[in-house]
Amino acid sequence: MGIDSFCSLDGSDPFWDWNRTWNASSPDLTRCFQSTVLVWVPCFYLWLCAPFYFAYLKWHDLGYICMTHLNKAKTVLGFLLWIVCWADVFYSFWERGQGTARAPVFFISPTMLGITMLLATFLIQYERIKGVQSSGVMLNFWLIAFLCATVSFRSRILQTINEVRIKNVFRSTTFYIYFALLLLSLLLSCLSDQPPLFSHAVKETNPCPESGASFLSKITFWWITKLLVQGFKRPLEEKDLWCLNSEDQSQKVVLVRCDGVKQAACMKSSPARILVSRGEKDRPPMEESEILLVKSSQNTSEPSLFLALCRTFGPYFLVSSLYKIVHDILMFVGPEILRLLIRFVNDGSAPYWQGYFYTSLLFVCTCVQTLILQRYFHVCFVTGMRLRTAIVGAVYRKALVITNAARRTSTVGEIVNLMSVDAQRFMDLITYINMIWSAPLQVILALYFLWQNLGPSVLAGVAVMVLMVPVNAVIAMKTKTYQVAQMKSKDNRIKLMNEVLNGIKVLKLYAWELAFRDKVSKIRESELRVLKKTAYLGAVSTFTWVCAPFLVALSTFAVYVMVDEKNVLDAQKAFVSLALFNILRFPLNMLPMVISSMVQASVSMKRLRVFLSHEELDEDNVNRKAIAGCDISIVDGSFSWSKTDNPTLKRINVLIPEGSLVAVVGHVGSGKSSLLSALLGEMHKQDGAVSIKGSVAYVPQQAWIQNATLRENIVFGRERKESWYQSVVEACALLPDLEILPAADATEIGEKGVNLSGGQKQRVSLARAVYCDTAVYLLDDPLSAVDAHVGKHIFDKVIGPQGLLQGRTRVLVTHGLSFLPQADLILVMVDGEITETGSYLELMGRQGAFADFLRTYANTEQTEEEPGELGSFLMKGACCLKPNIHFFPFISPLLSEQAQNSLSAASSAKSHLKMDTSEGDGKKARSPEVKLSVFWEYMKAIGICLSCISIFLFLCHHVASLGSNFWLSRWTDDPVINGTQPYREMRLSIYGALGITQGVAVFCYSISVSIGGILASRYLHETMLYNVLRSPMAFFERTPSGNLVNRFSKETDTIDSVIPSIFKMFMGSMFNVLGACAVILIATPLVVIIIPPLGLLYFFVQRFYVASSRQLKRLESVSRSPVYTHFNETLLGTSVIRAFGDQQRFIHESDGRVDLNQKAYYPSIVANRWLAVRLEFVGNCIVMFAALFAVISRDNLSPGIMGLSISYALQVTASLNWLVRMSSELETNIVAVERVKEYGDTEKEAEWTLEGSKPTTGWPTAGHIEICSFGLRYRDDLELAIRNINVIIEGGEKVGIVGRTGAGKSSLTLGLFRIIEASEGEIRVDGVNIANMGLHDLRSRITIIPQDPVLFSGTLRMNLDPFDGYTDEEVWRTLELAHLKNFVSGLPDKLNHECAEGGENLSLGQRQLVCLARALLRKTKILVLDEATAAVDLETDNLIQSTIRTQFEDCTVLTIAHRLNTIMDYTRVLVLDKGQMAEFDSPASLLAKKGLFYKMAKDSGLV
């Protein structure tokens, strides 16, 4: 039975009839076609999708949706449709019964349709049960069914108009009912149902509307419109952002990621590794996944990390590949329709409806292409976002378990770079990685269609493309080497900047800013040299890929017309080929980009893999089950900082009974702190066994303070117990401090405890340990940084036999001899060994090392109170963490209530999520738009002349491009005489010449823009560096270092490499759009009606989007800093976090900050898609109208001009999209220039040198200091911190400055060095008013040994003499005087010994002696000691004191002292109280007066 007899018994109703369809002026489809194909298509679609959709819903159960009115309506409509279809079937049977024979189609088609409607109704209910709020599958089904029915509907209407009466009333009625029900079903399927019960969205305060959006809303990204409207009306704030979708949150992403990596690591790990994983199995599951992050052994092969990432993110990412295939195929529909349109114009007899049909087909195809492409990008960006979350999470978790030796191989800067730069590289790659297979596919398809069009001539074009491949490959390889070199320089620069910012106070006190500026600039220059090479390569690359499509076209056309005279280049061949060449341009452009992006990602992958496979701390270092009766035991212990090092501690045997107080004493560098590290499991155990019973609390020598409130620092994530909290605060002597702090214990503590003094930080650190209420306490010299009476108070109330910790096991490292008699056990350490153990009396009786030790220092015995929160966390060779060298050790803010208020106010402004507010980022996040002045600043930085040349070159390129295409259209319109075109050689040569002009212009503008970018970035970085170094200390105290580092890394990187390339693309796409509009207007002037409204719509959409996009970008930027700041903070405190076992809490906190950052990032990527859909729609309208008006005016249009017009229109969509993308990218990235320029406007210190008032050589000659009515304040709106100081100090006098905490001691020295300028009065040195001098002239002529022994990474010689102003002999002589000669001469590199970041590889005492050596080398007439012997042992203290007495005998020495015994032999003592001078006389006279000084001496046990 044929198809015709299937539709009608007599065959009178054919399946297809060309005369009724294609060739008719009013086309219509046959009844048979309508009853079969148009009915079956929707049925086949649904039955094909149903099994897959069922399986999908079964696996993705989102919860249960209650029956709603919408659902009821959908179900009722489904049943009604089923009834209508069955009515048709029964009617056919009834007709048969009446004797009217009907063809099989009348039974089969409605039956199929009826069953399909039943399936649809069942799916509607199944979706509800599985929690689907809006279904794409069903919407498409109703849409296809409705479109098919519409054709039949038109046919029936035409039939009704032409015929007098309707043949079959029943069937017509059921069809119209069916059509109406379909329309209703389609409309209802566009709506979204309510969320399922217990869904994630219900619980959130501000859930993301995506999950509840309808399918149409999702594919057009309509659901974000509300947020964009909000952003258009007013600047967006953090509270406007939605919560992240649960599948994008760190907790979910990182855990999946960890499991993936864990499997990869285990598969390839050595047996030892698997043993470790077995040993850890009884720990909580989440922890296991972190510990096993990537414990890959040496033999782990390279792809393990890559495979883990693929396994984790691959399945979701594969969806994007599916979208990409469909999109790539649809791309080739455009040129085919263009071919048909040109054929239509050439064929005058073709009916007009065909032209309109082609136009509408073109419009529909481009719109579908748009929706699919944007969906593809959305999937890519979301994958990239999750990947970044996973990398940041993995790096953070790894940083918490890494060994000290491994930690030493990466600086803080490098690890932060892994999080920022390398994670970003992965995100960039994910967007384009599909091009690896998609580009070849597009090339193959394009070549196939070109072959159809031009035949074998295409091979000439292919040859040109093949030649381009090795060129691009060479460029990519060279780029990789430059990339690595640039990253290395960048790491070094960030590392150095980190140190400069951490040690800025020391730089200012020594007047070393210029030396360090030159060091940074030197690294920067090498970085820029590499950038310049990269720019030249980039120019060659740009040249090849802009010229490639043109060269391909030129060679193809040339071969085509030259091979055979009869080959005529007509409009159809030329412009369809051009459209295909334009498609070809994209994959050819993208391939080099993708390759270089992959190259960058592989560099990043390697860096990440190296970091993630670092050795981790062995959990088995410390056994948690102790011997009965002992809390701590070490048997035959031998420990080193890394597996390869010699043991730092040897032959250690210790048994510490439960509840005892153990003191550890010994000289500097004898291994006291290392012993505590060994107990914590921080050192590599080479031999022996360590066991500790119960929980541990640890107080490091250098207090680690978080950027949180004081209360949060003490409670440290534990449950708040008010009465216990109060007793801890009281016992740790913090009550007086709480009274001074503006918000008591709710005061926000700045980064690294910047607004606490050393003593306060140490007490907070101790309070944290005490509050945690553990079984074992390891205390690393906590009393070194506090006053004598405070130290005694803490010992009595906390540590001692009657303190809060009585009955707990306490191991106390101390230099304070007065506490030793109360210890149950004393361990004496010498060179990493315990030489003696016993009680105080036993050791005294033995007359051994301990007794000698005591005898040596008996005369200096006192209740110590050593200032400064210095200390080193580790002794010799230790570098578990970057020492918290007290970021700008601003002790003085505590000096008076007012000053305290000032700093706390500054610090409390820095709440976590407004990290950047202090330096204007908060303000930035609210500014409505980027000012033109920023662009002007950038142009000035490039150079106005160079900027104008670049723009002119862009113009030349695009004029040449338009000219060549216009010339081509004239060529195709040449008349054909005897089967050939007469002027083809002339046409071809001019076409080629115009192409070469394009190439030259491209090369020149690419070079000029890149060089301009480098000039600008050099200028901007130099000025920012200079401005930051010129800023006063107050600026650094209120600006978190994370923000400053962000400026020097992220923002500088943007200016270096991102802005120039965006500028190139912006100019290119702008000229493309203008050119296309010009061509379309010339070809079809009618378009002038439509271009203005479309232009307005475009402009409105663009402004509407940019308003919100810029805010989202800024919110993302502002919330990025806290991620890095918290990470920085964690790296400095890893040992404390591990000791308290708080890794999980910190991981949770880090995840929270990453999620907060992604909360701003996610809407910004969705906003990009929202924009693209709308802009491409505008572009698609331009294509449609260009085609439509070309069809309307086909009679007076040449095919060449029409082909030119439509091929340009086809490009305009991409160009428009790119133009907005680039303009918004340019606006958001130019913010980097604004943020870098910002520091030019901040307050600056006085000039470094003043030509008119340079001091005489050798000034000060006498060292005579006269302080007249002196006062200073920390901020203009605060009261004076010290006031009315009147003191005259003669040259050569030794003056001690004493007073309780907060009396103003340090403020006075800050005034002398003009770190803070005087508010009243003046200081004269040798008769010269210091306020009239340049700062460097002043600071370089006075020497200070600061409280913190800050060293910088670099050689030891550079640390002593950064300007190379002294000879080696002088340096060695000072080292000898500073008692360092033996140590330095024993080093393999002598003076060129590389100091680690912060001088970690020297012990604290050695660092202090290096600072002494600096002072000896400068040997000025005035020396200031700022509590310089804070946390060193008595031996080092004696060395320093004796050296100062002999070497600075004829100098004026000012000592801020806590240890009163050090100044008892001074000429005079200045006693300060509450910021005023209380007493000033010789020590003997002051004791006799029995005033304040006498009280203090009494507290110290000196009288």
Residues 6+ apart with CB under 8 A from 1335: 511, 1245, 1246, 1247, 1248, 1314
Specify the DSSP element, H or E, that contains 744. none
Specify the DSSP element, H or E, that contains 834. strand 833-838
775-818 pLDDT tens trace = 889 998 888 777 777 888 888 888 888 888 888 888 998 877 77
pLDDT at 1431: 55
Cα separation values, 1209 from 90, 362, 1186, 1274, 1454, Å: 53, 11, 7, 65, 80
Q: Is the pLDDT of residue 1108 over 60?
A: yes
Distance CA 705, CA 1436 (A): 27
Tokens of 85: 């279809």
Distance CA 668, CA 871 (A): 10
State phi, psi for 1137 to the nearest 5 degrees: -60, -45
pLDDT at 42: 92
Calculate what percentage of the chain has a pLDDT beyond 90: 8
Q: Is the pLDDT of residue 280 over 80?
A: no
Half-sphere exposure of 447 (CA within 13 A, CB side): 19
Cα separation values, 32 from 14, 29, 223, 1423, Å: 6, 8, 43, 107
Q: Is the pLDDT of residue 1358 over 70?
A: yes
Question: Mean pLDDT over all residues of the chain?
Answer: 81
DSSP category for residue 823: -
Cβ 227 vs Cβ 240: under 8 Å: yes
1363-1387 pLDDT tens trace = 888 888 888 888 888 888 888 888 8
Q: What is the 3-state secondary structure (H, E, C) of 160-182?
A: HHHCCCCCCHHHHHHHHHHHHHH
Helices (H), 130-236: 136-162, 169-189, 200-203, 215-220, 225-233
Distance CA 869, CA 1290 (A): 32
Q: Is the pLDDT of residue 976 over 90?
A: no
Q: What is the mean pLDDT of residues 1277-1283?
A: 81
The letter for the amino acid at 870 is: L
Q: What is the mean pLDDT of residues 131-151?
A: 90
Q: Kindly report the number of other CB atoms within 10 A of residue 163's CB atom.
A: 9
pLDDT at 654: 86
State whether residue 29 is helix, strand or coil: coil
Cα separation values, 1389 from 218, 967, 1384, 1393, 1495, Å: 65, 72, 8, 5, 50
Q: Kindly report the number of other CB atoms within 10 A of residue 469's CB atom.
A: 12
Distance CA 1488, CA 1467 (A): 15
Cα separation values, 1443 from 1359, 1374, 1375, Å: 20, 11, 11
1044-1085 pLDDT tens trace = 888 888 888 888 888 888 888 888 888 888 888 888 888 888
Distance CA 1443, CA 1048 (A): 41
User: Which pTM was predicted?
Assistant: 0.73
pLDDT at 1381: 85
DSSP for 573-637, written as a single string: HHHHHHHHHHHHHHHHHHHHHHHHHHHHHHHHHHHHHHHHTS-B--GGGSBS-PPTTEEEEEEEE
164-193 pLDDT tens trace = 666 778 888 899 999 999 999 999 988 888
Cis peptide before 1260 (omega within 30 of 0): yes
Place of tokens 């994983």: 277
Specify the DSSP element, H or E, that contains 1102. helix 1091-1132
pLDDT at 884: 33
Cα separation values, 171 from 110, 168, 175, 177, Å: 11, 6, 6, 10
**Confidence band (pLDDT; 50, 70, 90) for 286?**
very low
pLDDT at 942: 87
Q: Kindly report the number of other CB atoms within 10 A of residue 1286's CB atom.
A: 12
At CA 40, angle to CA 36 and CA 45, rounded to 5? 160
Cβ 222 vs Cβ 1173: under 8 Å: no
Cβ 127 vs Cβ 138: under 8 Å: yes
Q: What is the mean pLDDT of residues 819-834?
A: 86
Q: Is the pLDDT of residue 861 over 60?
A: no
Q: Is the pLDDT of residue 400 over 70?
A: yes
**Confidence band (pLDDT; 50, 70, 90) for 1432?**
low
Distance CA 202, CA 183 (A): 32
**Confidence band (pLDDT; 50, 70, 90) for 73?**
very high
Residues 6+ apart with CB under 8 A from 1410: 1349, 1351, 1356, 1359, 1360, 1378, 1380, 1399, 1402
Range with the lowest mean pLDDT among 97-111, 280-294, 1102-1116, 1413-1427? 280-294
The letter for the amino acid at 1463 is: I
Cβ 910 vs Cβ 707: under 8 Å: yes
At CA 338, angle to CA 334 and CA 343, rounded to 5? 150
State phi, psi for 779 to the nearest 5 degrees: -115, 110
Tokens of 906: 């500054």
Residues 6+ apart with CB under 8 A from 873: 673, 700, 701, 702, 780, 880, 881, 883, 884, 1135
1241-1273 pLDDT tens trace = 788 888 888 877 788 887 888 888 888 888 888
Cα separation values, 1453 from 742, 867, 1020, 1315, 1415, Å: 35, 19, 42, 19, 12
pLDDT at 183: 93
pLDDT at 1259: 84
**Confidence band (pLDDT; 50, 70, 90) for 995?**
confident
* 1229: nearest Cα among 1057, 1069, 1068, 1024: 1057
Strands 1468-1473 and 1320-1325, by their bridges, are unpaired
Cα separation values, 198 from 63, 124, 203, 243, 248, Å: 7, 21, 8, 17, 19
